Structure 1
Amino acid sequence: MLDQLDLSAVRAVALDVDGTLAGADAQVSERSIAAMRAVAALDIPVILLTGRTRRNALDIARRAGLPHVAIACNGALVFDPVSDEDLMVNPMSQADKQVFAQLADELDMDLTWWTKDRMFVAGEGPIRETIRVLNGEEAEIGDPAELGELVVMKMMAWAPSDRMDVIADEIHRRLPNTQRSMDSLMEAVDAESTKWHALEWVLGRYGVDPASVLGAGDGGNDVVWLSRIGFPVAMGNARPEVHRVARAVALSNAEDGAADLLERLATAHGAR
């Protein structure tokens, strides 16, 4: 299906990380790093669009030598990886923090909350291990009762995927700005600080029409922004709702599908 896309018309590319740019081992391969570098060298902005921490997104951007603005914490943080300057910081409201923490408690989900520079969990559990695997970082043990005192960028809750299937609608009903980023994870950010809000702002900064943007994603938190760009691509491992909005399907992340897509893009723009 990728062959049906006119990649020569692409003027910018946006990439989710987990399940997309990162492989099944949660690492970004050297092939993907080289492919991002090759596209950026063609003066095509390569925009990281991830739920990972600012620190982790910065590391990926600098490995690839990307000069373009990056988006972290599911859209709540926008920063310049060259100057290390924060360009947009939109924390969650006190009300949303309270509701999400209450949902996690009532529905027996494992909770994490992130500030700009730190990650907290209530104790040792599945969410702490997930953070270790995906971010390669250690979350601190914190007290959810102290949430009101913190400037929180995003929150996540973990439940087994089959249980998340059952409780997802209730979570969305009580806090509509939640998104299911992975089978076992529900995320919340400020209602006006989603991936789409951040990407729209960044594209305006570069003067790029969303209709000329190539994007790749795999999770429920990628559906909205993918549906609003011209070249939405679902990873082979993407959730069903992502496939429904995609114009094409890439190889899975385990097959370095994002690297393959970027290599095709570079070739379409004359790279050898």
Structure 2
Amino acid sequence: MEFILLGVIVLITRIGCTLQTPMYFFLNHFSILEICYVTVTIPRMLTDLLNQKGHVSFIACATQMYLVLLFGGLECLFLAMMAYDHYVAICNPLHYGLIVSPQVCVQLVTASWVSGIPAVIGQTWQVSYLPFCGSTKLIIFSVTSPPVFKLACGDTFVNEIAVYADAVVFIMVPFLLIGVSYGAKAFSTCSSHLTVVVLFYSTASTTYLQPKPNQSEETGKLISLFYTVWIPTLNPIIFTLRNKDITIALRKLLSKLST
């Protein structure tokens, strides 16, 4: 169901004549990013739940960690870009077309992907060189670096500093930019975007600003389930529930398909 909703958003924001604006350009790429994110997490989680084993090779573990960190970091940057778009539309409408031009939109999206890849490669590479001993069991639904630190029997100080640095760049800075944008008269008009921001950043901060979390296994499991399944599921619903443009475009698409 989730893949269908995200796929519909991608489709109608690409072909809808009234949706060819920067806001829906960012929403289109955000939906594609969400599809990538849930493709990395949900199939693996369902497989583990069905076979009740949950075994994963070192390479598969590192690959999933890399992709989860990459797509999670990009989601922070994309939410910041969408907030910037709202800010310009509300506070500088006369120059909106010049400031948020199609070329600028492409440059922002490209810069986000380019900046995220090296940071995530570095963090994954550091984690892969940690010494592990004893139990190698994690009660989580997706592999991320902070829970893996609990399995290391060596010094993880450098890794923790790297996590904090990445959290500042990909979580705190975008969050502050979003806060500044919403401080400029955007609260009442962008409630859907604000809801997604609060849900995503609250769980991301809980995970990545505590490199060695002290919560119980059940709490960690719940947090992991929340940001790997529930939030990506809620996002397409939140963005489309009160969006009249998307609703109208969807009705037109269904009408064309029915005829």
TM-score bin, normalised by smaller chain: 0.3 to 0.5
The higher relative CO (CA closer than 8 Å, separation ≥ 6) is in: 2
- Which has the larger strand fraction? 1
TM-score by length of 1: 0.31
Larger Rg: 2
